[in-house]
Amino acid sequence: MNADPVEAQVRVRYVETDQMSVAHHANYLAWFEVGRTEWCRAKGFTYRDLETKEGILLMVAEVRCRYKSPARYDDVLTIRTQVNNFKKRLITFGYEILNAATREVVAAGESVHVVTDRNGRVRSLPEKYVRFFS
């Protein structure tokens, strides 16, 4: 991953697992969202600020996830998030999810976001936020 990743942690809850105590694949997308939210917070703003103060949404256009080893019930996971690519209208976040105890990568992926207004029209990210993503 590139420079300046932000780390967040989650614990795999029982409800997120199957009968074999393995985390269901759909949960990784929710954990990516935790990573994005905490990345913003660590940089000094919140998703809520973008939405309520600026009327800007980061619409998900594409998500990729490669599963490398299972996360299991009660594992603590570290979500490492960074910006892989930035243009004023398009942001790509990169993720690694690691087992916090073993440091083994359990999944890696990316999400691509289009900057839009509340009506879904593509917009440029407001200038005061550009420095966070550059």
What string of H, E and C letters represents the secondary structure of the chain? CCCCCEEEEEECCHHHECCCCEECCCHHHHHHHHHHHHHHHHHCCCHHHHHHHHCEEEEEEEEEEEECCCCECCCEEEEEEEEEEEECCEEEEEEEEEECCCCCEEEEEEEEEEEEECCCCECCCCHHHHHHHC
**CATH (one of 1.10.3720.10, 3.10.129.10, 3.30.390.50, 3.40.50.1370) for 6-133:** 3.10.129.10
Domain ranges in the chain are: 6-133
Instruction: Give the mean model confidence (pLDDT) for residues 108-128.
Output: 97
Question: Is the model's pLDDT at 68 over the cut of 60?
Answer: yes
Percent of the chain predicted with pLDDT > 90: 96
Predicted confidence (pLDDT) per residue in 81-91, tens digit: 999 999 999 99
